[in-house]
Amino acid sequence: MKISHIVSVLLIVLLFQIPLQAQKTIVEKYGQLSVKGKYIIGQYGDTVQLRGMSYFWSQWQGAYYNAGVVKWLKDDWKCTVIRAAMGVDHGGYADQPYDQLERVKLVVKAAIDAGIYVVIDYHSHQAHMDPYTAKKFFSEMAKKYGSYPNVLYEIYNEPLQETSWSDDIKPYADTVIKAIREYDPDNIVIVGTRQWSQLVHEASLDKISDPNTAYTLHFYAATHKDWLREEAQKALDNGICIFVTEYGTCEASGNGVLDYEETKKWWDFMDQNKISYCNWSISDKEETASILIFGASWTGKWKESKLTPSGLFVREDMIKKNTPIFGTLKTE
């Protein structure tokens, strides 16, 4: 055998022996993210699509807000992004700011340590009614984490149907983004859209002035079908960047039928358009959207028997599309 052939064989053997820990993390691979037209772009020019999981409201499923869960979702589920859904109302941050803030910090630190991206979500349906509290929260987050490329800020989860984009949501967003930019000029801001973050086309007609802004689209596959994909396509055609920070495999209630076929249609649509997405939710609440059965471990290491049908379905998609290959990450 020629020496060159022997060297080639040895290199292949060595590649197969490289542990996963030695491979690049998603943040090492893509670095600082930014918005360019309808795409998220990495620091080195790559078009980036993130896939991961969203936590449930922090005040109701706070036990899962810990480093063990983040590490397990990164290592076992191959998540490249985690969304920390900090509840604001209903006994959340507005009433107990210290407790909810600490839960968010645990998740953000764990994501940074794991080398994945993290969305800091201000989980409210009426955030524009109290911009002062939102500004205070995001100023603190930007000051603390603005130097880390891992962080994205979702400043308004789901504005209600009767809220005005131009009169309520956009002015609120301008105010909060200004507060963030005092400390963090670089990281992406994600803005919720009217009607539970569905009317992205409306927002595309009156865009946020900050160029590093994406717009939130939420769907639940058994309820939101072709009409909402058409709405999203019109928004994309107008050149805005969409981030699906929350989607469910079931009905909009979080319960009901698990719609495999419609979820696959949505996955295809998002993959074709390089739209990043997070599944709702990391929870053992007894409903279809939860990925865990009631009583599943609070620290990860879940066997498949502890996953719901939705959890098994979503995990399979994530592993298939996000699995590292020889020091790179499969993104499509």
| Residue type, position 113, single letter | D
Pairing of strands 324-325, 276-282: unpaired
Q: How many degrees, rounded to 5, is the angle at CA 86 between CA 247 and CA 203?
A: 55
What are the percentages of helix, strand and coil residues in the chain, rounded to 5?
40, 20, 40
Q: By C-alpha distance, which of 70, 83, 84, 85 is closest to 25?
A: 70
Classify each residue of 150-165 as buried b or exposed e, where b means 16 or more C-beta atoms within 10 Å of its C-beta.
Answer: bbbbbbbbbbeeebeb
CA distance 237 to 231: 10
CA distance 125 to 110: 27
Instruction: Give DSSP secondary structure letters for 252-285.
Output: TTS-S---HHHHHHHHHHHHHTT-EEEEEEE--S
- Both tokens assigned to 206: 């009156």
Q: List the catalytic residues.
A: 158, 246
Helix 97-114 × helix 67-75 angle, to 10°: 30
